[in-house]
Amino acid sequence: MLIMNLKNLSRMLVFFLGSALAAGSATVGAQSNYPNKPIRLIVPFAPGGVTDTSGRLIADQLSRRIGQTIIVENKPGASGNIGAGMVANAEPDGYTLVLGFDGTIVINPHIFTSMPLDTLKDLTPIGKIGETILILLAYPKFEAQTLQEIIALSKQPGKTINFGSSGVASPQHIAVELLNQQTGSKLVHVPYKGGGQAMIDVQAGVIPLVFTAVAGGYPYIKSGRLNAIAVSSEKRAASLPDVPTFMESGVKDFVASGWVGIFAPGKTPRPVIDYLNKELNAVLSAPEVIAKLETLGIEASPGTPEKFSKEIASDFKRYGEVIKAADIKADN
């Protein structure tokens, strides 16, 4: 009887081991055959903006490399939360991706009382596309025309210096709140529904300052309609080499660049992430792609998923502290 039981146990072990190996082989086989059908790239914003344009550029170039169509779908709403939530709940097979930017991934969780996803757990970073450099611009007739003059003037009793941005809790808004907290400046936020009206008002002198993306400010600087004060990146913008950084202008360790990247649902298999990251980095290393991104105010930033993850975690913590100190809410 004991011998018979041992024989049966052995057969069962062989059966289960074989089943496990077969399942593992099927998974590896499916991943090694990736991609074998079109991929969806969800852009959680309306068509036409810088984020959408950069996503379409990368989708086009990436599809040529991998031999599969990448279909761009715009799913705007709730500052990117709707589209990001769709991808967080999608099958983690590498066929549904999302274009994420810092506002959605590291700012929204701190300003919305209800989120459809945990951006740090429910999405897996594939890679960063690039840095979106921000710039502080001034009305040419404003009495302060350097960063230190602006900071000093804002501290004077009875002085109110307004700055415009594309909206409450936008990366530009958060960046200036960070400046206020680091320097003791008292710049007052004037939110606009998009950056267009803010640019009109600063040119007319309705507001003295505006914080925007380099791509949006570039034509106004070159035409002399606005004066460039400083860029908030670690190094100077390639398109505006004569404009100093905030750090060069006397604000130590001030870096507040935006970024945009590609994410997959959480639990997407690592071989799929590695494959997409490799192909994305190849696209971002192409001179023509680098040049096209530069026209959008984005500096290509190829790198590993791990490096991107560390940056995301750091920004999440840092911006969370700024938002809490400034008491910023999405519905303010």
**Residue range 134-231, CATH number:** 3.40.190.10
Indicate if the pLDDT at residue 13 is higher than 50. Answer: no
Question: Which pair of tokens denotes residue 97?
Answer: 């991706």
Spatial separation of the C-alpha atoms in residues 64 and 284, rounded to whole Å: 13
User: Number of C-alpha atoms within 13 angstroms, CB side, residue 129?
Assistant: 32
Phi/psi zone of residue 94: left (φ > 0), alpha (ψ -120 to 50 degrees), beta?
left
Question: Which pair of tokens denotes residue 200?
Answer: 């009109």
Chain segment 41-99, per-residue pLDDT in tens: 999 998 888 889 999 999 999 999 999 999 999 999 998 999 999 999 999 999 999 99
- The pLDDT score that the predictor gives to residue 195 is 78
Mean pLDDT throughout 141-157? 97
> Which residues have CB under 8 Å from 85's CB, separation 6+?
115, 116, 117
Between 267 and 296, whose confidence is greater?
Answer: 267
For the stretch 235-239, contacts whose Cβ atoms lie closer than 8 Å and that sit 24 or more positions apart, written own/partner, are 237/133, 237/135, 237/297, 237/299, 238/294, 238/299, 239/214, 239/294, 239/297
Looking only at Cα atoms, what is the longest distance across the chain?
Answer: 100
Whether 87 contacts 268, CB under 8 Å: no
Chain segment 29-44, per-residue pLDDT in tens: 445 699 999 999 999 9
Residues, the chain, total?
Answer: 332
Do the domains 39-132+258-326 and 134-231 sit in the same CATH topology, yes or no? yes
Indicate if the pLDDT at residue 315 is higher than 80. Answer: yes
Mean pLDDT throughout 157-163? 95
CATH 3.90.650.10 fits domain 39-132+258-326: no
- Which residue type occupies 80? G
- pTM value? 0.84
Residue-range domain boundaries for the chain = 39-132+258-326, 134-231
How does DSSP classify residue 105?
I
Per-residue confidence at 11, pLDDT binned at 50, 70, 90?
low
Range of lowest pLDDT (113-127, 186-200, 221-235): 186-200
To the nearest whole number, what is the mean pLDDT of the chain? 90
Indicate if the pLDDT at residue 318 is higher than 80. Answer: yes
